Structure formats: C-alpha cells, structure tokens
Structure 1
C-alpha cells in the first residue's frame, strides 16, 4: 500500500469538519492520515476531538506574536517539524499571510460554506437567503492569498427552502460539508484532483459525487 499523505489540520473552534476528517482517516484504507491538529485557541473543543482520536495537538496563540507573518512562521515551523505534507483548514479563523500561503501552494485546502464564487467571506447563509437563491452549499478549494478564492476541488449543493432561516440553512449545509471535505481530501491524496492554472483538473475516473445535490430530507 502506498504511504498515506500526512495532513495537518488548522482549527480555531469546535472542529466539526475536523471530526469528519478524523472519522474518514480512521479507515486504514483512506489515502491520508491526520498527523497533527494545530489551533490558535487553547482549550477549543476541536483539540479534544483530536486527543480522543489519538492525534497529536499543538497550540500557538496568535496573541503571542507581533505580526501575522511571525505567527505564520511559527505555525510553519511546527507543521514542517511534524513532517506535515498537506494542510487542511477546518474553521481556522485567522487570515493567512501571503508568504505562508505561497509556501504551501497547492498543498493547502479550505472548506467554505457557500457555492463559490458566490458569497465569499462571512454570514453566507444570511446573505444567500436575502439574495433569494434557490440553491446554497459548500465548496472545498485550494487556498490562495485572496480570501475564499483558489481552484475549486468539489462542491455540494442543498436547496434553500421557503421556511429556512439562517440557522436551519446552516445546519443543512454543515451536513454536506461533513460529506464533502473527506471526499475532496481523498481526491487530492489519490492524485485525482490536480491544479492546472486557475482550475482543478479531475481524472476521468473521479466519482460524480464530487458535485452532489442533496435532497431536502437528507
């Protein structure tokens, strides 16, 4: 069996998407393993999830550094020291410096709660309802210096129901996030999704589930 891709996950909070990745990586046949969970917030629930799974954790508070670049340099040192080959952002609530992003170019992905390029930034569910869109969802993409930009690996769509408020829509999207993130990581780890210019090219045998429309009852 080929060596599994060594992944570091950056978190700031409860880590529900981290849990989805941990569950996927618990299968020895999954092509990636989580080798480190790094957080900028001591005591966040995501660290407990990692510890229960037996995954090493590390905390680096951004408040201990004079600049974003210094903080990112400290994270980079820890990630490389742990032998990390690939980074997943899972609710990491810090903007990354261009230098850090460049050093992990095409080796760092993020999940965002909208169908990019629509609704970049915060409050995506409120904005989707206000805009009157019929479908909303989530996107896994490679990270570039621009916020919520970068080549798209996979997306999942859910319907926006007439009765939805932001919380109900957020809950439906979160369920799709938990399915989509492990799928996207698998595609990358198996070299079935690679960056070509500003796009991701998928191999011909990539499953059609890389874009999925979920039933409202799901």
Structure 2
C-alpha cells in the first residue's frame, strides 16, 4: 500500500515530550538536543512539548463531566498538540524505578490522542539510564493502542555524558538517534496511511 497523495509530501508531525517537571531536571537538555536531531531528519516536522508548561491536576473529572476552567484550558491546549502529532518521542528519567508521576498523569488524561500512533523513547539517568521507566511505559502505551518502537536511546550517567548541551560522544549518540528516527518514520508513515484509509476504532 502506498501513501495517499495528500499525505505524500507532508512531513510527519513529531511531538517530543519532556516528561520530567522536577526542579533541576536534565530532561530539557536531552530533549532539545534530540529535537535538533529530529528536525534535521528528512520528512519530520518537530514540536517540543514541555509538560512543565501544561500542569494537569492529579484528580481527574468523572467521565462526561467538565474539569475546572484552568484544567480544561490546559487539557484542551495539550490535546490539540497531541491530536495533531503523527508520532511521539517521550524523553524520560526514572524515579524510584518507574515513570515520573507528572508524565504518567499526563498520559492518563488522554486516550484517543495516542491511539494508532508510534511512540519512541529517549531515557536518561544513572547506571540504569532510565530503562526501567521505558519498559513500564511500553505497557502503558500498549493499553492506549499506541505502537512503541523497539529502538530507543538511553543516556547512562547522563550528567557525565553531556558537555553543556551536547553529548560528549556526539557521533555515537547521533547514530543511535538516526536509527531510532528511521524506524519511527517508517511506523509513523504506515500508521498515518492506515488512519487515513480506515479511521481507528476502539
């Protein structure tokens, strides 16, 4: 199956999500670097989304009810960004061997926005490199009918791996990013075509 003509020349819209909102976080550094790599990749249009700018309450409204006005505005603004995206990259550390609370809360506020789209991961941390958070996120996104990409990018002992805003071993990091982006573009293109041919139902 080939992509519909109306999609063929359109770049895939990639949302790079900063998953940590903790003071002193390293996430924006890794996310900005990765967004640069993605912006240079053929066929991608990149939007950087920092969850610190979209705080959602931990108490969610009951299904069918309306959240308070401020929460509704935040939800609607973020929903528009997620809906318009064809693919996602989540940049995450691990806290206590799992996913940052703000990231999991944000994921849980939405459903249709994630469905039938690919998700890849950039993780960072100490010796574990955030990999346990990634494994947990794979299960979470599977429940939301998203497709997680096998390839990922992990920065172990991340604070020592970067010099300023760039990885010390730039060639290795850029190579790993390209491999992941190649796979993400394949899935993003395939799933965008599938959604156009037959809207996803769950």
- The two structures have a TM-score, normalised by structure 1, of 0.45
Higher strand share: 1
- Please, what TM-score do these two structures have when normalized by structure 2? 0.48
